[in-house]
Every structure is written in structure tokens, then in C-alpha cells.
């Protein structure tokens, strides 16, 4: 059986055994004599790379192995790959009730040959929205910590923009922590999706930070005075901060939230101010955002 990739501990352990000319049976006997009993199968798994030492008791055994094999302190301990245990992952669910939007999303992902949306999950996300002097969203920056949910290493992730009301266009995107390798805008104008290659591959359960900034210009900018975030599975912490240009202070503000399986939209009035932040913990699946208006300058959108 070949040794799994990215397991420097197994390589160092095997090399040290070979250099000392010590078999696993002899090593296990020495460990038992020193008061560190360990199963023969466990030592075999560690040498083959199928498993790695985890927990305080296993690390104590590795300390003793270093002594028996005449290695410097921590020579093997420091080679143990980081392992993050992934909490149970709930199945993802689309927060969109519009069948056309869901169909367009499925077609777009198929055309892109995109990695599954549930190959990662968002642990935390800070989304900052800047509204321009004309009262329309101009810039959006999301700083997100993602975690791999798969049992194998991944190096590509998929992100999407989906709208049930407004037309989606290709924004100008700046990415940190990854780079866009392909994208697609659906003919319906409902979905834009892009696949990113991560700067560093994600091992099972490992996390990474991504920053994605989107800017919109010209006649194709969305004219809908609203912004929000949709999540397909629960996110630990979600913060949305929307900031208004001094010349575009809204006359009214409303918070929009949809979290249950019925897709019912809850609308709550907010006091108009220069900026508004929304914070949720263990939120989703669902959608959260705000919309605003200007009496006498823009017509107020009708409530759903």
C-alpha cells in the first residue's frame, strides 16, 4: 500500500526505524517495558500513514519513541500533520424559493464543471457594503473563513451570485487567498458563478481565509436599492455592515430575513442612519439583508 500524500510524520517515522534497524514488534516491546503500551496495529498505521498520532496519550508515546530511536526532542512530534475534526455537517438547502433561479443555478454549475458548493462551509463572514452617492450599491467586500467538509484535500471552490428579482451582471472582482480560473453568466441573468483555485490546498477539516471584493460600474449596475447574503447551510458568525454615502442617506430602511423552510420573508423597519450592521450567530440556511429608499428621489419598492 502506498503512503498517503502530505504525511511527513509517516516518512520520518519509517526512516528512523530503518536507520535504527528496529522492527515494529521490537519497538512495541520497548514501549510496553517503558510503561507506554500501544497496539501493534496503531504503530503500523502510523508508519504507513493511514493514521497519525492524536491526543495527549498518543503524543506521549511518540515522545518515548523519539527517546528509544535516539532522535532529538520533538523530531517526530513536529512532523505530525495538523488534523481538524469536522463537526457534523448539515445538508445544504437553497434559500431561494424561485424555481427559475434554482434551475439557472443548476445549469450554471454544470456548465462550469464546478466543485460542489458543499465541499466547504463558511464558518465566519464579514460583509461590507458601500452605497454610492446615487443610492445604489457600489462595492461589496466579503472576508470569509471557509472550512473543508470533504475527506480529501481540495484546491478549488465555487462561489455564486443569484437573484430572484434583479438582473445579475459580471462585476469587477478582486480576490485574495485564491484566484478565479473560470466563470459563467447564465443567459437568464439570474445567476453568475465562478470557480476559484485556492492559494493553498485545504486538507480535510482545514480552514482558510478568502477576501472577495466586487465593484459595479455603468449602465449594467443593479438598480435595486438592497443588498444581502444568502447561506446554504448554518454559518457560525455572520456580520453585514452597509455604509451609505453622505449624499445618499436613506429616508427609510428595512431589514429582510428568511430562515425557515417555508421561505417566508420577514420585514422589519429600521431607523435610517449613515450605516447599519446586522449580526447573526448560527444563522441559516436562509438570507439576511436590507433595502432602502428615498422619498421624492426614488420610488419605494413594493413589499412582497
User: What are the boundaries of each domain within the chain?
Assistant: 8-79, 99-293
Q: What would you report as the CA-atom Rg of the chain, rounded to the nearest whole angstrom?
A: 26
Report, as an integer, the average pLDDT of 1-10.
Answer: 65
Q: In what order do the strands lie in the sheet with 275-283?
A: 172-176, 207-215, 137-148, 120-131, 235-244, 275-283
224: phi then psi, degrees, rounded to nearest 5: -80, 120
What DSSP string describes 171-220? -EEEEESEEEEEEEE-TTSSEEEEEEEEEEEEPTT-EEEEEEEEE--STT
**% residues pLDDT > 90 (the chain):** 40
Q: What is the pLDDT of residue 304?
A: 36
- Cα–Cα distance for residue pair 291/239, rounded to 1 Å: 16
Residue 219 clears pLDDT 60, i.e. is over it:
no
The CATH code of the domain at 99-293 is 2.60.40
**% residues pLDDT > 70 (the chain):** 83
SS3 content of the chain, % helix, strand, coil (to 5): 25, 35, 40
Domain 8-79 has CATH 1.10.260: yes
pLDDT, one tens digit per residue, over 113-165 is 988 888 888 999 999 999 999 898 889 999 999 998 888 889 999 988 877 66
pLDDT, one tens digit per residue, over 254-289 is 999 987 666 678 899 999 999 999 999 888 888 899
Do the bridges between strand 120-131 and strand 235-244 make them parallel or antiparallel, or are there none, so unpaired? parallel
Amino acid at each position: 500500500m502506498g503512503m498517503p500524500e502530505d504525511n511527513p510524520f509517516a516518512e520520518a517515522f519509517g526512516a528512523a526505524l530503518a536507520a535504527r534497524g528496529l522492527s515494529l514488534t521490537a519497538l512495541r516491546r520497548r514501549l510496553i517495558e517503558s510503561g507506554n503500551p500501544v497496539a501493534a496495529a496503531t504503530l503500523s498505521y502510523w508508519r504507513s500513514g493511514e493514521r497519525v498520532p492524536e491526543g495527549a496519550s498518543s503524543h506521549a508515546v511518540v515522545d518515548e519513541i523519539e527517546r528509544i530511536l535516539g532522535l532529538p526532542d520533538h523530531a517526530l512530534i513536529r512532523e505530525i500533520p495538523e488534523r481538524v475534526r469536522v463537526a457534523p455537517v448539515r445538508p445544504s438547502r437553497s434559500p431561494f424559493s424561485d424555481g427559475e433561479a434554482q434551475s439557472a443555478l443548476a445549469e450554471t454549475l454544470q456548465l462550469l464543471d464546478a466543485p460542489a458548493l458543499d465541499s466547504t462551509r463558511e464558518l465566519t463572514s464579514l460583509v461590507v457594503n458601500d452605497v454610492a452617492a446615487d443610492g445604489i450599491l457600489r462595492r461589496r467586500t466579503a472576508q470569509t473563513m471557509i472550512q473543508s467538509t470533504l475527506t480529501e484535500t481540495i484546491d478549488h471552490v465555487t462561489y455564486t451570485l443569484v437573484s430572484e428579482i434583479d438582473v445579475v451582471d459580471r462585476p469587477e472582482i478582486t480576490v485574495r487567498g485564491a484566484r478565479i480560473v473560470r466563470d459563467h453568466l447564465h443567459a437568464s441573468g439570474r445567476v453568475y458563478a465562478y470557480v476559484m483555485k485556492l492559494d493553498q490546498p485545504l486538507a480535510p477539516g482545514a480552514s482558510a481565509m478568502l477576501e472577495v471584493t466586487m465593484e459595479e460600474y455603468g449602465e449594467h449596475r443593479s438598480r435595486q436599492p438592497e443588498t444581502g447574503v444568502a447561506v446554504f447551510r448554518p454559518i457560525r458568525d455572520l456580520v453585514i455592515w452597509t455604509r451609505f454615502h453622505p449624499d445618499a442617506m436613506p429616508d427609510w430602511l428595512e431589514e429582510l430575513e428568511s430562515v425557515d423552510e417555508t421561505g417566508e420573508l420577514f420585514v422589519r423597519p429600521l431607523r435610517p442612519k449613515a450605516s447599519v450592521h446586522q449580526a447573526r450567530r448560527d444563522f441559516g440556511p436562509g438570507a439576511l439583508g436590507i433595502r432602502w429608499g428615498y422619498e421624492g428621489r426614488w420610488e419605494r419598492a413594493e413589499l412582497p
